[in-house]
Chain A
Amino acid sequence: MRKILASLLLVSAATATAQDSPENLPELVGGSVRSSQTIAVPAMPAAQGASEALGRQIAEVIASDLRSTGAFTPLGPNGIGGYSVAQATSPAYGEWRGAGAGALVSGYVEARPDGRITVACLLHDVTAGRQLASQGFTVAAADWRRAAHKCADTVYARLTGEGAFLDTRIVYVAETGPKTNRVKRIALMDSDGTNLRYLTAGKSTVTTPRFSPSGNQLVYTGTLARKPRVFVFDVATGAERLLVPGGAITFAPRFSPDGRQIVFSWAQGGNTDIFVVGANGGSPTRLTSAPGADTSPSFSPDGRRIVFESERSGTQQLYVMGADGAGQRRISFGGGRSASPAWSPKGNLIAFTRIGGGGFRIGVMDPSGGGERLLTNAWQDEGPSWAPNGQFVLFHRTQQGSGNGTLHAVPVTGGAPRRMPTPQGGSDPSWSPLNN
């Protein structure tokens, strides 16, 4: 009798706890409407000496940035009303709901006595009627765009869970002139295409510029004594130096994630291999020695591995090795040829160029070579480079015949590539890390 009672008690106790375990609770399932989020971006009010025009310009940059991510449909600043500085922190949620916005970016611009400006940036969930984020950015007045990009990044990161990527720059090779006499210059711009300037004069061939992890330097392939040579270039001062002196044919350079080394290709005696050298100079260390071309090396974000392209098997394929050259192993088996790999800053994917079927396409695969997906489909798309949040891949597209190049960014989740605005043709684009 006691035993029965005890076991009954046990069962009812068990049932009591089981009653509230997640499996027994009612479940609500959220839909997954694949539409962009509608977000109101009204012109920011001006406080204390700032100009109204600036508040509107800031909102325009924020709205344009958010639209470029593909995840938002911004409302405004044109066509919607404004608000007062006090309302920045206590918006009329009901009115914004009525306007069809699920979210709202508010803020204000303030001019400081030292000539700088402060941009306040607040993000609100209009549906739930609450504030989600609040930050202020103080910049030199001439750098107001950076404050707008930072605000857009705050909004993007909070509403998508992804990392920031809008306050960044893009370096690329600007191209003008006929196909048989191209003038190539290294060009630098904000990731929205503004603040464009040229870093080299165009007197010699330049290709594949890439940023250092600090964003303060570039490494690129220039020309010296009629040979391709890797140069390290200081963005602020314009000073540059040869990476490997002595007439070596060097190209395809990339920084290591800690900025201390540069990995590159060296061609000699009809063979091209991968070497690594201290970013400040020194004597290069050989990493590969297989016959045929080994090139396009790219570090993993933890600095421990390098993905590269090799034709040692007979066709261009992707290989991964340790940062010391150990354990070289092929990873691409998806058919055709695979080239110009770039390891995502998130570490989870490798972007590459798939050659085959009469053209080049941009694809991604995971670092073991599985899960291949092609992201683009045109005559010649090549040279992938990652946004710092690992969500977008930059590349250039060459037009058949004219050979004119344009720059595009494609979301890694799939979707149409977006043309990056450049005033002239371009190739070899590379995305900077987040600006400091």
Chain B
Amino acid sequence: MRKSLTFGVAAMALTITACGRKEPPATTLPPSTEVPADASGAAPGDVELTELPAMQADLVAKAGSDTVYFGTDEFLIDAQSKATLAAQAKWMLANPNVRASIEGHADERGTREYNMALGERRANAARDFLLSQGVPTSRLLVTSWGKERPVATGSDESAWAQNRRAVTVVVR
């Protein structure tokens, strides 16, 4: 824990001195397979993650989907979601050199900050299921996008249903 904290602080200091303004630049550090984990599985760090599009496509192809869906104002993993997540878990175990950022989203019918919390709750639920399928904690990150990143544009039930989701994003 202390090591990860120092690591995190050093990384932050590096990025802040490098830029001193707005976003810290995307300083990439070599991926480590021995990252010590805290209870939530978060990586020690405030370091930008790199998406891996080719791996993502492979996940979708092999697992069927990188996304699970939720009912209005809910975070329950239903049977369909379990099946999808089980397949994702298999893929994760078959591809040990990557991590996944499990990212929760909400539809536009909630207030801004509440939806941020709801997204995290959904992502956490998905992650918990992946853990139960044997994926190591250290390889799973959890985050929320609230209602900020919809995939469907309408203000109708169909669009909202598509936006209430947790996406498994493959990252280095």
Binding site for B on A (CB under 8 A): 178-180, 182, 184, 199-201, 203-205, 207-208, 221-222, 224-229, 238-242, 245-249, 251-252, 265, 267-272, 293, 295-296, 309, 311, 316, 339-340, 353, 355, 360, 380, 382-383, 398, 400-401, 403, 427-428
Q: Knowing A228-B146, A245-B12, A403-B108 are in contact, say whether A179-B153 is a contact too (CB < 8 A).
A: yes
The reply on B151 being an interface residue by CB < 8 A is yes
The interface residues of chain A lying within 8 Å CB-to-CB of B103 are: 226
Q: How far is the CA of A218 from the CA of B149 in the complex (A)?
A: 24
Encoded as 1 (CB less than 8 Å from any A CB) or 0, chain B from 1 to 12 comes to 000110011001
Once the chains are docked, how many angstroms separate the CA of A251 from the CA of B113? 7
B39 interface contact, C-beta 8 A? yes
Contact of B46 among A201, A245, A272, A400 (CB under 8 A): A245
Chain A binder among B79-87, B89-97, B117-125: B117-125
The 6 closest A-B pairs by CB, nearest first: A293-B117, A270-B124, A272-B117, A267-B120, A247-B42, A252-B113
Whether A203 pairs with B48 at a CB distance below 8 angstroms is no
CB-based contact A226/B16 at 8 Å: no
Chain B contacts for A400, CB-based, 8 A: 155
Q: B112's contact among A180, A242, A340, by CB below 8 Å, is which?
A: A340
Supply 15 A–B pairs (Cβ within 8 Å), ascending by A: A203-B23, A204-B23, A224-B23, A224-B46, A224-B48, A239-B20, A246-B46, A247-B141, A267-B121, A272-B117, A293-B117, A296-B111, A339-B114, A340-B111, A382-B111
Given contacts A225-B49, A293-B121, A383-B111, contact A240 B22 (CB under 8 A): yes
Residues of chain A within 8 A of B113, CB atoms compared = 208, 251-252, 265, 295-296, 309, 339-340
Closest Cβ of chain B to A315, distance in Å, is 9
| CB contact under 8 A between A251 and B116, given known A225-B49, A239-B20, A398-B108 | yes
Q: Report whether A205 and B24 are in contact in the complex, using a CB–CB cutoff of 8 Å.
A: no
> What residues of B have a CB within 8 angstroms of the CB of A383 in the complex?
111-112
| Closest A residue to B128 using CB positions | A270
How many chain B residues have a CB neighbour from A under 8 Å? 54
Most buried by B among A201, A247, A269, A360: A247
Kindly state the separation between the CA atoms of A249 and B48 in the bound complex, as whole angstroms: 14
Contact in complex: B144, A182 (CB < 8 Å): no
Shortest Cβ distance from residue A283 to the other chain B in the assembled complex, whole angstroms? 11
**Contact at A269–B111, with CB atoms within 8 Å?**
no
Known: A180-B151, A247-B43, A296-B111. 8 other contacts (CB 8 A): A200-B23, A208-B112, A245-B5, A249-B143, A267-B116, A272-B121, A339-B111, A353-B111
In angstroms, Cα B25 to Cα A204, docked, is: 12
Find the A residue at minimum CB distance from B40.
A268
Q: Residues of A contacting B21 with CB < 8 Å?
A: 238-240
Determine whether the beta carbon of B120 is less than 8 Å from that of A205: no
| B171: A residues at CB distance < 8 A | 226
B152 nearest in chain A by CB position:
A180
Q: Which residues of A contact B145 (CB under 8 A)?
A: 205, 228
Q: A251-B113, A309-B114, A401-B155 are in contact. Are A225 and B45 (CB under 8 A)?
A: yes
Which of B45, B114, B128, B151 sits near A247, CB closer than 8 Å? Answer: B45
B30 contacts the other chain (Cβ, under 8 Å)? no
B150 CB-CB contact with A under 8 Å: yes
Q: Tell whether A238 pairs with B148 under 8 Å between CB atoms, given A179-B153, A270-B75, A383-B112.
A: no
Asked if A382 and B112 make an inter-chain contact with CB atoms under 8 angstroms apart, the answer reads yes
Q: Tell me, yes or no, whether B140 is within 8 Å of chain A by CB.
A: no
User: Do residues A242 and B153 form an inter-chain contact, with CB atoms below 8 A?
Assistant: no
Contact across chains for B112 and A265 when beta carbons are under 8 A apart: no
CA distance A142 to B36 in the complex (A): 55
Cα distance A268–B117 in the bound complex, in angstroms: 9
Q: Which of B39, B114, B154 contacts A293 (CB 8 A)?
A: B114
- Checking A178, A200, A295, A403 against B116 with a beta-carbon cut-off of 8 angstroms, the contacting residue is A295
The distance in angstroms between the C-alpha atoms of A191 and B35, with both chains bound, is 48
- Complex: A353 Cα to B116 Cα, angstroms: 16
A427 to B108: give the CA distance in the assembly, Å: 13
Cβ–Cβ contact B114 & A295, under 8 A: yes
B47 to chain A: closest residue by CB? A225
Complex contacts, A269 vs chain B, CB 8 Å: 39-40, 124
- B101 on the A face (CB < 8 A): yes
B130: A residues at CB distance < 8 A: none
Residue on A with the closest CB to B156? A401
* Nearest CB on B from A350, distance (A): 15
8 Å CB contacts to A: which residues of B22-56? 22-24, 39-40, 42-49
Beta-carbon nearest neighbor of B16 in chain A: A241
Complex-state Cα separation, A246 to B8, whole angstroms: 6
Residues of B within 8 A of A296 (CB): 111, 113-114
A205 partner, pick from B40, B148, B155, beta carbons under 8 A: B148
- Please name all residues of chain A whose beta carbon is closer than 8 Å to the beta carbon of B101 when the two chains form the complex: 226
Q: Does B169 contact A (CB under 8 A)?
A: yes
